[in-house]
Structure 1
């Protein structure tokens, strides 16, 4: 089911979140060093690490419980990080109790802890990598992603589709008569239209939906865990939002309006990513042919 939208992070918010993640990773590493001292040198364990809610008491856990950013709290990878972090602490507590009782640590218990440790670290570093990618690959004008990394990301999503893990929808939109805006009002006005339109999209999309600037005034949206009908409904809301804009031209009282034509399709298990892009491109051009300012669902 397509979840209700919330604000897509700005570049500044992303950079701030990366700094938070770096501090959280540092805190986790300090905790791990202390754990090793207990397991190897048999110094007394921290009382908090022996409690059932140890995952909430470490500095990493305290950060996790109090993250202020709504976009981070509701990100799927952040939610799964909580489960991985708790499992790691449960396994660590088992090791600490064995040491406290003077018992040897079975290799199987150590292996289980290391597996949960690796999973937790993989989750947080993957999250950090995603935010770094957004910052590095953002279009400087609109804040959308550039086409760098587009195909690799779509192939990752396609792999999940092929394994039956998720569905994934693609939406391609093109701003109607955009050349006329540039010719009549100048490129600064066109830039304002682009920026405002992307802000419309971001306001209605989830933070893990990705918006790519596919061409000058074309934008490709990838929406994981979304059905074709859900994607069509979202595209209609996006179309309405763009058409409702009133964009003020610099140095004049002229208010600009713009519409957009949308194509919608799905990543298909049996088709290559490039074929899906071709299908959504054809659907978008059908919307243009049908009179513009409409949504067409492709094959």
Structure 2
């Protein structure tokens, strides 16, 4: 999933929760029709009924790109449309004063369960992303770091593909906080992560490793490519012109980066340490530079 802010994720979940509520209200109305034999809503008898219920109207006009572009969103739409096909069969039988068989009811219930499963799976995935995300910068937090790196290490071992790590630390970041305040420091961190995300690929990962320290994981990246990407990130960070909210000051920062490969012959922790040691050598050699382990 592409990177999104915590606020965007929370908005998507809130929007999804409202859609779930609308669907459950529709389902209660359906039960009332089936049990009490009251007239069905004309829209529910139409071939395109899935587009006219409140859930369907929401689905067709979803405002949050995070939901609209999510792969599971398409599956949810298919499940919702299929559920309405079976619902329409039941409602038409009621309208024609005909009996509903247990088989027909089971078909509808199975389709309903499938739709509910798709909804909850999507909601659960969004919730998991929030839990694994740093609330300030939108980078991944350290809770999911080691499991992900071990998975990438196993892939590297099985397929023989490269995976590069880069440890990035903002130079003299304490001076930013001391001189301009922590809100300005927060703005620098947020801007820097956005800067890095613009360079990295969607499947690369940025982890907030410490206060102003970030670990970047780049699957399928050779040592030469990793060095090149790290140099681009180093230059891009230095080129930032960051203006904190409510301030006339323009802040500039630099970063030191250490690059190492995720080596299957050693522990994940050892590979992280190698990138970290390379980064500290960059600090020692004058900062605002890239140093490789290899």
| TM tier relative to shorter chain | 0.5 to 0.7
Figure out how many residues of one structure are paired with residues of the other and give that number: 273
Q: Which runs of 5+ in 1 are unaligned?
A: 162-168
Q: Which residue of 2 aligns with 1:104?
A: 100
* C-alpha contact 1:228 1:265 (8 A) present in aligned 2: no
1:228 counterpart (216, 220, 226): 220
Q: Which residue of 1 aligns with 2:65?
A: 70
TM-score relative to the length of structure 2: 0.67
Match of 2:211 in 1: 216
Are positions 1:144 and 2:144 aligned together?
A: no
Cα distance change on mapping 1:190 and 1:256 into 2, 3 Å: same
Q: What are the residue-to-residue correspondences of 1:1-299 with 2, within 5 Å?
A: 8-101=3-96, 102-107=98-103, 109-135=104-130, 138-148=133-143, 154=148, 172-176=165-169, 178=171, 180-182=172-174, 186=178, 188=182, 191-202=186-197, 211-220=206-215, 228=220, 241-247=236-242, 255-259=251-255, 261=257, 279=271, 282=274
TM-score by length of 1: 0.66
The whole-number CA distance in structure 2 between the counterparts of 1:27 and 1:209 is 37
1:261 offset after TM fit, Å? 3.2
CA distance in structure 2 between the aligned counterparts of 1:198 and 1:112, rounded to whole angstroms: 48
Three-state SS of the structure 1 residue aligned to 2:142 is coil
Per-residue CA deviation, residues 166-205 of structure 1 (Å, 9 max, x unaligned), is xxx9775432463x34258748465443222122245567
Q: Quote how far apart the aligned CAs of 1:27 are.
A: 0.4
Q: CA RMSD in A?
A: 4.7
- Decide whether the 8 Å contact of 1:84 with 1:120 is kept in 2: yes
How far did residue 90 of structure 1 move? Answer: 2.2
RCO higher in structure (CA 8 A, sep ≥6): 1
Rg larger in structure: 2
* Alignment CA distance shift 1:176-1:20 (3 Å): closer
